[in-house]
Structure 1
């Protein structure tokens, strides 16, 4: 059942991104490689932890030389059986290729973000996909 829910979430995310792209063209969105990350903070009700996490994440995003689309989100408050709103923050990044995404994984800004923020989260889930 979990794998069906995960597959459904991925499909819905892809469909929503595609629909948004059809309505509002964004030259920054690259359909070649999408990196979607969900973070569950250890203390999601701590304003201090949330501020520290977002400050680090936004700093990283401003310095990333490889990521094109840079979307930071939080649960939308939708309530349907297929929606998992248990995460604290989401991150959607796009890249022109897997090779560029591989470089992003090692770039100093990304490494620094992980080092300074990993103590704040209890769980991270990543979905990587390539465009059709």
Structure 2
């Protein structure tokens, strides 16, 4: 696959969150605060992105989620360290009350 350009995103971790109260501004702000703390304190997460559904109304586009978090890692080992690090565990323990559903997509460069 030489036509695919490799970048520094060797391992991509995408997490879609559906909040319990997606229209509640206080809940959305609380969630953003928790994610910001996670991203500022994680020792392993590299490129970081927190977003909301884009206005791309096509039937093949998933847009029912409230937030999309993308973090990248150099490799699977760094991803695995992220999963057990204190910052990630704290995020889950403090913010889990806000969401009703989570979907994770992990991808590695081939």
TM-score by length of 1: 0.77
Q: Does 1:85 align with 2:86?
A: no
Aligned counterpart, 2:43? 65
The structure where helix makes up a greater share of residues is: 1
Cα distance in 1 for partners of 2:37, 2:9 equals 24
Runs of 4+ with >4 A deviation = none
- Aligned-residue Cα RMSD (Å) equals 1.7
Q: Deviations over 1:48-97 (max 9, x none)?
A: 10011000100110111100011101001210010111000001111011
Aligned counterpart, 2:92? 114
The unaligned stretches of length 5 or more in structure 2 are none
Higher relative contact order (CA 8 A, sep 6+): 2
- The alignment covers a number of residue pairs equal to 107
Cα distance in 1 for partners of 2:15, 2:62 equals 13
User: Once the 2 structures are TM-superposed, how far is the Cα of residue 30 of structure 1 from its aligned partner?
Assistant: 2.6
